[in-house]
Amino acid sequence: MEKKYFKSLDELTIDFQKDNSNQPAGDKQSLLEMQQEVTSLSSATRRDFLKVFGFTVASAAIVSSCEQPVRKAIPFLIQPENLVPGVANYYASTFFDGIDYCSILIKVRDGRPIKIEGNSLSSVTAGGTNARTQASVLSLYDNARYKNPMAKGVETSWEDVDQQIQNQLSAIKTKGGKVAIVSPTIISPATQAVINEFIAAYPGSFHVQYDTLSASSILKANEKFFGKAFVPAYHFEKAETIVSFNADFLGNWLSPIEYTKQYVKNRKLTEGQRTMSHHVHFEGGVSLTGSNADKRIQIRPSEEKIVIANLYAEIKKLAGLSSIDVLAGPVDVKELAKQLWAKKSKSLVVTGSDDTESQLMVNGINQLLENYGSTIDTAVHLKIRKGTDDQMELFVKELNAGNIDGVILYDVNPVYDYPQKDLLTNGLSKVGLSISTSVMNDETALLCGFICPDNHYLESWNDAEIKTGFYSLAQPAIRPIFKTRQAQESLLKWAGKPADFRIYLQNYWETIQYPKSTGYLSSTAFWNAKLHDGVFESSEKEVVNLPFTITTADAALTNTKNATKTDSIELVLYVNTSVGTGKHANNPWLQELPDPISKITWDNYIALSPKLAEQLGLEDEQLVKINNQITLPVAIQPGQEKNTVSVALGYGRENAGIPSNGVGQNAYHLMKVVSGEKKYWLNEVSLEKVGGTYPIARTQTHHSMEGRAIVRETSLEEYLTDPSAGNELHKEIQPHLKSLYEQRKFDGLHWAMSIDLNVCTGCNACVIACSAENNVPVVGKDQVMMRREMHWIRIDRYYSGDTDNPEFVRQPVMCQHCDNAPCENVCPVAATTHSNEGLNQMAYNRCIGTRYCNNNCPYKVRRFNFFDYTGADVFQGNKKDEVQMTTDLRRLVLNPDVTVRAKGVIEKCSFCVQRIQEKKLVAKTENRQLFDGEIKPACAQSCPAEAIVFGNLNDVHSKVAINFESERNYHLLEELHTLPSVGYLTKVKNTIA
């Protein structure tokens, strides 16, 4: 028998006990079991070992090769109609946020809206978008949205809220009280009807249209001039000379997408066009529009009126009318007046002034120049910004007087953006019933008794009339994500009407709009067709040939006699192209969007001219207190008028969520309200240096081209004599491009992109469109300061000339898809290669992150994932996501066609290869060739100026091939013989005055 060893006394005794006591004697079964157990353990054969070993190794291999388990993938049990998994659906809709209007298509993938595209069926925005429209899809997936109705700060149910609100409303009704609905301008006819229903249900209630950026002065001026308050339709495309006084019509003034479309129409020198408008811009700060002007003249905001008066006086003289002597302005406008006079009825003078008299004089100028009826259409009204400032003033006054019993704040946030915040909050506290229908967390809703969250616009039904007769529809592209309800439905419900806004809207369209249409058999057919198109354009007109009273303009001119000059520092409050009025501040894409002028992200700042900075002894990033109110860092801005400083509105949100809380400072409270009008500038501004500095995150820190031929420029004069003017280098370099190697041939398709620098305004729509399309991570301010922003397309901005009055040039730069690519050569693992269609491809899976390609890229368009920005890393817990872009909710915006890149890999523009592939497959299934222009990368699709053209270079008739043959065409750093597939068309400035 085998000798028995024991390691301890216990072991020995326990064994004994087990043997004797735990086993009932004679239990054969258990004895057999025991025996088997023993043998199975001891007698594992070699085969058994191999089996177990093999299984272990195989399972270990399988387990370890699954990098990430799939979480929360829920299959469709019943496939919805018209939904093919993996194929996007597009729904026509409308974006309107009270400021910007855009007719759009919503791209929906597997039930999720993931991208906004322009709707080319609209003749207003015609397929163009802007940065905020592009970014609006991300706000759908914002954690800072209200997710439930709330009563007194407590989440509750809709039934409960409705009950409470209706009780209070009927109490108000019985006592004959007033309820005010405060909203931005309502351009939706159906919504207006709903509001009217509500007002009808609660007599005594009234509607206040409160516009954060108002066109109050235009409305008032037109009321005096034409006897009717309206904003006319402008036609920049018909104007050969454009004079703008601080009207940022390419950025934020009224309808910028539409105006960009119009503006570039007669500035494009492609397709045989040989004329260009001449654009003169007067301003104090540097706006997007000003930086695009042919001639930019710096004036202080206080001087604007005098300059306009001078121009009006000169025009009057030219018209042979008696004029008066006005105070001499800082600039001589005689020449300008002559030029305008020469372009009678083909010119356009606009002003962004908040002063009614200035607007009146501009009306007078346009009247004398016979621009009404040609470049300004009074028969078609622009329906946005219908609110006048005094409406709000009156409302606040009433509120404070305690004359209002209920307030419904519909899509407005006055506690944040109303200049006299204290007055408003004080008034609000006196109201018994306050309801906010805010979609997102905001400062006003915090003070309201009830929060009845509205749906996001992508979850809503709506319509809009942007201009007289130009209607569009909005439809939901997703069911409400949270327990929200459309504000219109809330109003209907409280008014005691059937609360289904879709039915209401359809009825409205079928009864009111259908009769305006032609060619539809039934109202339902009309509705279905318009819902499909998203737009409906009837030929309605307002009253034509309005009588005008030019004496009102003359009176304004006479009044300027008393104007005095001041020398104090003046402050301009403006909105930028990214966060705008602050409504979209909680959108990380917009916060990280570099300003088109200063290239600053994530903050507002005091833009200061270099001279003033020198005079005040201020340096970049130094903290300065304005008017003892807010402290902001200084950003020295060449081109800023010497004594004018600018501060952007839209920052300093307090209750907007992560990431916008505390980004920048709120400048709305610096604004003054003078006799019922909001003033967007103020004089006698005090700038007080306080200790310390504050870092600013810029994406570009060097601003000179250093004499290199990067952006090639010429004047119209030179261009007309020699189309290759400014581009002489191209011809010089071409013959020198020799190689020992055979040049690559592309037999089938050869993708290329042409960018017309002459029409790119730098509006940044493409940057956001690219981020949305390609899942480009947002990295946050710290990382931007480290120069690690990830944008695949950037817009370089250079200054030329002297620092006090520089010229601005811009250049969108993305991967140039070089046919002789320096990056491809140096990758040790061939992670970046060239396709047989001329694309420079990036295989993220193969990339090991040596960054050699990035170093060797002369265009520096490659981006490295320095951290785990996306949560795609194999390690857990090392995510770098200060702006919360990787929450489950935010990730719903990701485009499933584009890989989310992990830490440690390089990424870059792919020419939207997923779009190319999609259209190729479509063409293949339809057994046809691709059309030219069928494939549009996100940047080209979004561009309101149509500056980007994409296509097949092998097709000689394609637009891109024609552009490449243009004498204006050149390639960036072409002397390096990288053979880029991106071509640029020279910038041409119209200096012919």
Q: Under the rule (CB under 8 A), what is the footprint of another protein?
A: 700-708, 710, 783, 786-789, 794, 796-798, 813, 822, 825-830, 846-852, 854-856, 858-860, 862-868, 873-875, 878, 880, 902-906, 972-973, 976, 978
> Whose Cβ is closer to another protein: residue 315's or residue 982's?
982
Residue whose CB is less far from another protein, 485 or 794: 794
Considering the complex, state which of residue 580 and residue 780 has its C-beta at the smaller distance from another protein. Answer: 780
Return the number of the residue (60 or 874) whose C-beta is nearest another protein.
Answer: 874
Radius of gyration of the chain, Cα coordinates, nearest whole angstrom = 33
CB nearer another protein, residue 350 or residue 814? 814
| DSSP string for 657-679 | -TTTTTSS---GGG-EEETTEEE
What letter would DSSP give residue 736? G
Distance CA 813, CA 984 (A): 10
- Rounded to 5 degrees, φ, ψ at 162 are -60, -45
19 versus 706: smaller Cβ distance to another protein: 706
Q: Is the CB of 143 or the CB of 833 nearer to another protein?
A: 833
d(CA 466, CA 485): 24
Secondary structure class of 954 (helix, strand, coil): coil
Nearest CA among 292, 288, 267 for reference residue 280:
292
Handedness of CA 293, 298, 301, 303 (dihedral sign): negative
Residue 416 or 984 having the CB closest to another protein: 984
d(Cα 567, Cα 914) in Å, to the nearest integer? Answer: 57
Alpha-carbon span 750 to 956, nearest angstrom: 11
Q: Give the contacts of 158 (CB within 8 A, at least 6 positions apart).
A: 149, 483, 485
Minimum gap (Å) between residue 700 Cβ and another protein? 5
Does residue 659 have a cis peptide bond before it, meaning omega lies within 30 degrees of 0?
yes
Q: Minimum CB separation from another protein for residue 699, in Å?
A: 9
Shortest distance, position 709 Cβ to another protein, whole Å:
9
Give the nearer residue to another protein in terms of CB position, either 702 or 957.
702
CB of 974 to another protein, least distance (A): 12
Q: Kindly state the smallest distance separating residue 338's Cβ from another protein, in Å.
A: 39
Shortest distance (Å) from residue 905 CB to another protein: 6
Three-state SS at 853: helix
- The minimum distance between CB 701 and another protein, in angstroms, equals 7
The DSSP symbol for 892 reads G
Q: Which is nearer to another protein, 708 or 745 (CB)?
A: 708
Q: Which residue has the tokens 């991208």?
A: 115
Phi, psi of 491 (to 5 degrees): -65, -45
Rounded least distance, CB 831 to another protein, Å? 8
**Region label for 660, one of left (φ > 0), alpha (ψ between -120 and 50) or beta (otherwise):** alpha
Q: What type of residue is 649?
A: L
From residue 946, alpha-carbon distances to 54, 938, 970 in Å are 62, 12, 18
Q: Would you say 388 and 339 are in contact if contact means Cβ atoms under 8 Å apart?
A: no
Task: Report the nearest approach of another protein to the CB of residue 670 (Å).
Answer: 33
With respect to another protein, which residue has the nearer C-beta, 92 or 784?
784
Question: What's the one-letter identity of residue 251?
Answer: G
CB of 619 to another protein, least distance (A): 17
Secondary structure, 3-state, 617-636:
CCCCCEEEEECCCEEEEEEE
3-state DSSP call for residue 453?
Answer: coil
3-state secondary structure 781-829: HHHHHCCCCCCCCEEEEEEECCCCCCEEEEEEECCCCCCCCHHHHHCCC
Return the number of the residue (81 or 706) whose C-beta is nearest another protein. Answer: 706
At its nearest, how many Å lie between another protein and the CB of residue 882? 12
State in angstroms the smallest separation of the CB of 884 from another protein. Answer: 18
